[in-house]
Amino acid sequence: MATISDIEVKSVCPKFHCAVELVGRRWTGAILSAMLMGATRFTDIIHAVPGLSDRLLSERLKELEATGIVDRVVHQETPVRIEYRLTEKGHELNDVITALSAWADEWIEAPACGGEASHS
Amino acid sequence: MATISDIEVKSVCPKFHCAVELVGRRWTGAILSAMLMGATRFTDIIHAVPGLSDRLLSERLKELEATGIVDRVVHQETPVRIEYRLTEKGHELNDVITALSAWADEWIEAPACGGEASHS
Q: Looking at residue B109, what is its pLDDT?
A: 85
Q: Looking at residue B2, what is its pLDDT?
A: 47
CB B118 within 8 A of CB B53: yes
Run of H or E residues at B22: helix B14-23
Which of helix, strand or coil describes residue B70?
strand
Q: Looking at residue B114, what is its pLDDT?
A: 53
pLDDT of B7 higher than 80: no
pLDDT of B5 higher than 80: no
In degrees, to the nearest 5, what angle opens at C-alpha A88 toward C-alphas A84 and A93? 90
Residue of B4, B12, B101 to mutate for A, most A C-beta atoms under 10 A: B12
CB A54 within 8 A of CB A46: yes
Run of H or E residues at B31: helix B28-36
What value does the mean pLDDT take over residues B69-83?
Answer: 95
In chain B, residues with a C-beta closer than 8 Å to the C-beta of A101 are: 13, 15-16, 19
Residues B12-39 have pLDDT tens digits of: 888 998 999 899 988 999 999 999 999 9
Q: Which of A19-23, A84-88, B61-65, B73-77 has the lowest mean pLDDT?
A: A19-23
Q: Looking at residue A119, what is its pLDDT?
A: 40
Q: Looking at residue B98, what is its pLDDT?
A: 94
Q: Looking at residue A118, what is its pLDDT?
A: 37
What ipTM was estimated for this complex? 0.84
CB A110 within 8 A of CB B14: yes
> Mean of the per-residue pLDDT values for chain B?
87
Calpha distance B26→A113 (Å, rounded): 17
DSSP string, chain A: ---HHHHH--PPPHHHHHHHHHHTSTTHHHHHHHHHTT--SHHHHHHHSTT--HHHHHHHHHHHHHTTSEEEEEE-SSS-EEEEEE-HHHHTTHHHHHHHHHHHHHH--TT---------
Q: Looking at residue A110, what is its pLDDT?
A: 65
CB B50 within 8 A of CB A51: no
Which of helix, strand or coil describes residue B71?
strand
Q: Looking at residue A51, what is its pLDDT?
A: 92
- Neighbour count for residue A71 (Cβ, 10 Å): 13
Residue in chain A closest to B113 (alpha carbons) equals: A18
Residue in chain A closest to B89 (alpha carbons) equals: A107
Residues B90-113 have pLDDT tens digits of: 999 999 999 999 999 999 986 656
In chain B, residues with a C-beta closer than 8 Å to the C-beta of A19 are: 100-101, 103-104, 107-108
pLDDT digit of tens for each residue in chain A (120 aa)?
444 444 456 788 889 989 998 999 989 999 999 999 999 999 999 999 999 999 999 999 999 999 999 999 999 999 999 999 999 999 999 999 999 999 999 999 866 565 443 344
Q: Looking at residue B84, what is its pLDDT?
A: 98
Q: Looking at residue B120, what is its pLDDT?
A: 40
Calpha distance A84→B29 (Å, rounded): 27
Q: Looking at residue B53, what is its pLDDT?
A: 97
CB B51 within 8 A of CB B118: yes
In degrees, to the nearest 5, what angle opens at C-alpha A27 toward C-alphas B96 and A63? 95
pTM score of the predicted model: 0.83
Residue in chain B closest to A20 (alpha carbons) equals: B29
In chain B, residues with a C-beta closer than 8 Å to the C-beta of A82 are: none
Phi, psi (rounded to 5 degrees) for A102: -65, -45
Which domains are seen in chain A, by residue range? Answer: 13-103 (1.10.10.10)
Q: Looking at residue B111, what is its pLDDT?
A: 62
Contact B112 A10 (CB under 8 A): no
